[in-house]
Amino acid sequence: MQPFDVQSRTRFVFGEHSLDRLGELVADLASQASPIQRVLVVSDAGLIDAGHFDRAAKVLRERGFEVNSFHDFGENPTSAMVDEGVRVAAEWKPDLLVGLGGGSSMDCCKGINFVYSCGGKIQDYAGVGKATTDMLPMVAVPTTAGTGSESQSFALISDAETHVKMPCGDPRAACRVAILDPLLTLTQPAAVTALTGIDAISHAIETYVTKRRNPMSMTYGRRAFGLLAEGFSAVLSDPTDVAARSRMQLGASFAGMAIETSMLGAAHATANPLTARYDVPHGQAVGMMLPAVIRLNGRSHATSYAELLREMGQEVAVEEAPTVLATIVGEWLAQAGMKNSLEGLSISTGEIDLFAQDAMNQWTGTFNPIPLDLDIVRGLYRSVASGT
């Protein structure tokens, strides 16, 4: 068995209405650590319209904390957006950060924490273990069920100049508290539910077979897959189904815990160039590549895929497992109204060589169980050339 060394750093609080405990949980942190007076809430502008930001600010103020906010960033946060947040933090001088929103809010918050706490620029922290000092305590409050950023010590920030996605990871960037309130995910637009849900599913499936997988990541990955498989169709057909929303949110978080020690694989490595060059949403790009990657990795990990299928109540012969799982993912994509081909996204197959070169430079691809080379990666793109 693969050895592992995991220090859990995050307090997880799960349950309906758990956002109401934000003030109390920050007060708990204040009693354990250095005094906390001023809080900076990093949340995307959509959270104001949904009313979540006002609720968070209210429960913090009721506990006597002073609150300021940073909303000036978008999807796939960039180094420039982090710089702007650091400027706001330098003026406000917060004692604690709250990342409230989807993966963009939590990643932007972590990125701001790196630079505000440690100095320099976000590019200095690309890689693992580059923080130079302890960072501000951070509370994560996800409002989507997708990235699992609340469970990880990584921030994904794009370089504003080169558009390269930089994973910036350090144990000190891990959140001190993660509040998982499934009711917050009810306000997501349907497309966001679909895109983030497929992303979470891809995390569970990719982490389950990586070179770094270990007994702990596999336990989280398998249960994550079971929860997500049970919840995904249900939230698509009834967005108000709170039990299904709960499964999705826990599943996404558990998959995030699996990523923390197992990393990801070829579906993310091949998806990232599509996002960088054509702005294809992350969940769409990963979901489109995933069936092809399952078929590829099924050459050596059919048993693992059979285990995942068992987790969703399907017993199949091991040799059939990759095909069955790839087909199920394809059906989920179709149900979610997502594209399954480059043609469907109006992207020319003439770009495949370029994408393949980009994909080979993705760090995440190095953890794929079947070692990637240009021919294999080109083959993955060619297999999704045409379709709907």
Instruction: State the DSSP H helix or E strand holding residue 38, giving kind and residue range, or none if neither.
Output: strand 38-43
By beta-carbon proximity to Fe ion, the closer residue of 285 and 356 is: 285
Residue placing its CB nearer to Fe ion in the complex, 117 or 297: 297
Extract the tokens encoding 212.
């770094």
Closest-approach residue to Fe ion (CB) = 199
* Candidate ranges 35-43, 96-104, 149-157, 199-207; the one touching Fe ion (CB under 5 A): 199-207
Q: Is residue 383 within 8 Å of 289, Cβ to Cβ?
A: no
150 interacts with Fe ion by CB under 5 A: no
Residue 371 DSSP class: P
Q: Which is nearer to Fe ion, 150 or 199 (CB)?
A: 199
Q: Are strands 154-158 and 165-169 parallel, antiparallel or unpaired?
A: antiparallel
CB of 94 to Fe ion, least distance (A): 28
Instruction: Report the residue number, 279 or 319, with the smaller CB distance to Fe ion.
Output: 279
**Amino acid in position 128:** V
Spatial distance between the Cα atoms of 57 and 264, rounded to a whole number of angstroms: 35
CB of 286 to Fe ion, least distance (A): 5
Strand 127-128's sheet: what is its strand order?
A: 127-128, 165-169, 154-158
Nearest to Fe ion of 201, 308 (CB atom):
201
Establish if 199 lies at the interface with Fe ion (CB under 5 A): yes
For Fe ion, the closer of residues 88 and 157 by Cβ is 157
107: contact with Fe ion by CB under 5 A: no
Give CA–CA dist 54/224, Å, rounded. Answer: 31
Kindly state the smallest distance separating residue 67's Cβ from Fe ion, in Å.
30
Cα distance between residue 188 and residue 145, in whole Å: 9
Number of residues in contact with Fe ion, rule: CB under 5 A? 1
Radius of gyration for the alpha carbons in the chain, expressed in angstroms and rounded: 20
Least distance to Fe ion from the beta carbon of 200, Å?
8
Find the shortest distance in angstroms from Cβ 199 to Fe ion: 4
Which residues contact Fe ion (rule: CB under 5 A)?
A: 199
